[in-house]
Amino acid sequence: MKLQKAKFECCSRPLRGWNVCSVINGRPIQGRSPRLQGVTMLELLIVMAIIAVLAGILIPTVERVKLAARSNECAGKLREIGIGLSNYFVDHGTTFPTMVAARESKDQDDPAIDTVLLPYVKDEYLFECPGDHEGIFQKTGSSYLWNSLINGQRMGNMDLLGLTKMESGIPTVSDKENFHKHVGDGVNILYADGHVTRGLQLIVGQN
């Protein structure tokens, strides 16, 4: 029995990405070229440039979202302080407490928002604004300022320097500073009717 010899020929026109290197009995055998078609340096640089552009867009956006979340958390804490005031009214009628606007140090033995209202809120950290990175809370006991102009006034019969008697327009507690500059000027303010919004800071005396 005679074995038929296989014929091997080199293909003169290799396919793109393939090298038809031989023909056996008239049938072409295709194989990958040893030189694989990989990512070029130009393509890699383009991908890296796209990633850099996306990072430049996304990172500031994520940071703004985080800062906005801190401002919202601060507003939430002010609302809880408002609830603490309501709890205080249960024991003291509807009369606002008499407190200093702020203490310069926790060592001062003055009635302040973080001492007088502490029994009516969950814990002392409610008085720490999440945007307070200056250590004001640690030093004074509170990131928030009490409007001492309403000391001793009664809900339903309030008066702010003769300017307004409307509880929705009379501030009670506010940020001591603009801890949230990224959202604009002003500070977060709790009003006598319990709502919180941003507005211009009311400057009051220490007593």
pLDDT at 199: 84
The answer to the question of residue 98 being in a domain is yes
Lowest mean pLDDT among 38-42, 58-62, 136-140, 151-155: 58-62
In a domain, 120, yes or no: yes
Q: Which ranges of 13-135 does DSSP label H, i.e. alpha helix?
A: 41-92, 113-116
Q: What is the pLDDT of residue 111?
A: 97
**Is residue 125, in this structure, part of any structural domain at all?**
yes
Please indicate, yes or no, if residue 30 is contained in any of the structural domains: no
Average pLDDT over every residue of 149-156: 93
Phi, psi of 140 (to 5 degrees): -110, -15
Task: With respect to residue 13, please indicate whether it lies within any of the assigned structural domains.
Answer: no
Look at residue 75 and tell me whether its pLDDT is greater than 50. yes
pLDDT of residue 11: 46
> Contact 112/99 with Cβ under 8 angstroms?
yes
Contact 141, 114 (CB under 8 A): yes
Beta strand pairing call for 171-175 and 144-146: antiparallel
Domain-embedded: residue 14 = no
104-129 pLDDT per residue, tens: 999 999 999 999 999 999 999 999 99
Buried b (16+ CB within 10 A) or exposed e, 43-76: eeeeeeeeeeeeeeeeeeeeeeeebeebbeebbe
Residue numbers of the domain that contains 159 = 77-199
* pLDDT tens-place string over residues 5-38: 444 444 444 444 444 444 444 555 454 444 445 6
Q: What integer pLDDT is reported at residue 38 of this predicted model?
A: 61
In a domain, 164, yes or no: yes
Residue 167 lies in a domain: yes
pLDDT range class, residue 197, cuts 50, 70, 90: very high
- Specify the number of domains making up the chain: 1
pLDDT, position 34: 46
Percent of the chain at pLDDT > 70 equals 72
